[in-house]
Amino acid sequence: MRTKVGIIGGGPAGLLLARLLHRAGVDCVVLESRTRGHVERRQRAGMLEQGTVDALREAGAAGRLDAEGIVHRGIELRFGRARHRIDFPALTGGRTVTIYAQTEIVKDLVALHLADGPPLLFEAEAVAVEGADGEAPVVRFRHEGRDRTLTCDWVVGCDGSHGIARDAFPPAITRTYQRTYPYSWLGVLADVAPSCDELVYARGERGFALHSMRSPTVSRLYLQVPNGTDPADWPDDRIWDELDARFAVDGDWSLRRGPITAKSVTAMRSRVHEPMRHGRLLLAGDAAHIVPPTGAKGLNLAVADVRVLARAFTALHRTGSAQPLEQYSDRCLERVWQATRFSDEMTKMLHAQPDGDAFESRMQLTRLRRITASHQAAAELAAHYTGLPLAV
């Protein structure tokens, strides 16, 4: 097989990139190691920045998103048994965020590809990228019981934090920066209408809690738990009781309870791989960077990478200039580090310290009070949460 752009990974980053390239007339092939069913069932992010919504519309993949997505105009911070709303449009000049599950984005993009799109091969496991520093890199993969090769002009690794694309970068040019946080999130899906109209971030001595949603009838909730927690140790009643305690406020508010349909534990970590380009191999999304989910940046950073890549490949296709591709890593890493900083600050501000550090606890409250009392501080949070505009 031969193509202009070989894309490893059929998650939202790889699928969206392929869709944008297809609409620009750039040939590409997507290799996904898992089955279609597995890809469409993976539970991941659900909060979309304004720029992510714009990108899906640009790709012609926002029909269901526009019909079913839930637009949010702010978030609520809870601490000291009080509620504080951050009004996004008032602080950002009109920007909002939208709740629409990543699983639904993937379903929409897969359907478009299969109806009218470039080749998308499921159960095609990439095992190596060779010749990235030459003019015709090759992806070796296994598909339908056969060893095959995909020869490309360029290769994009959208294969996540455990993929193989990153392994093709020479160790001599690679730097990895990472941090593991001393707590995790226990996440649950529940068949119950959300108890709030917007996301609630709660900080308290018992630990952090987040109330989110997937739809008007499905709630998504999270609890800070120790690393190594087994979801089986948390029966449903214990989860609801703990959520009740952490969301408690003075005044009229109650948490709706319902059947919990899924439980999982997510480690909290940051990792940035530099550079994001080696020769004709480029990384996008989790293959290059991971952030803790507190700032809701993971999926949105991946889409920002893809938008830069799609414009760069389109420029190469139309003008022959490879300069935007040569600048790709530097352009993206500036945004990646800003998002990593924001996610780190949100995480450290909202989570109880396992070592019981009283000084840090007071500093957390001071940071929260500054945000709720200062227009400038609230505007900075709102600008980063809704997503910084993509540089042209």
Contacts (Cβ under 8 Å, ≥6 apart) of 389: 51
Cis link prior to 275 (omega < 30° from 0)? Answer: yes
Catalytic residue, candidates 181, 222, 328, 385: 385
| Helix (H/G/I), strand (E/B), else coil: 261 | strand
The count of residues in the chain is 392
324 an active-site residue? no
Q: What DSSP line would sit under 189-225, residue for residue?
A: EESS--SSSS-EEE--TT--EEEEEEETTEEEEEEEE
Tokens linked to 127: 């095992």
297 an active-site residue? yes
Catalytic residue, candidates 12, 22, 72, 137: 72
Q: What DSSP line would sit under 282-340, residue for residue?
A: EE-GGGTEE--GGG--HHHHHHHHHHHHHHHHHHHHHH---HHHHTHHHHHHHHHHHHH
**Are the C-beta atoms of residues 35 and 143 closer than 8 Å to each other?**
no
12 an active-site residue? no
Catalytic residue, candidates 297, 328, 351, 384: 297
Catalytic residue, candidates 100, 181, 183, 201: 201
Between helices 102-116 and 12-24, what is the axis angle to 10°?
A: 40
**In sequence order, what are the beta bridge partners of 264?**
187
222 an active-site residue? no
72 an active-site residue? yes
Long-range contacts of 165-170 (CB under 8 A, 24+ apart): 165/8, 165/9, 165/126, 165/129, 165/281, 165/283, 165/287, 166/273, 166/283, 166/287, 166/288, 167/129, 168/128, 168/129, 168/130, 168/132, 168/278, 168/281, 169/132, 169/273, 169/275, 169/278, 169/281, 170/278
Catalytic residue, candidates 293, 328, 351, 384: 293
**Are the C-beta atoms of residues 332 and 339 closer than 8 Å to each other?**
no
Neighbours of 301 (CB within 10 A): 28
- Please give the positions annotated as active site: 72, 201, 293, 297, 385
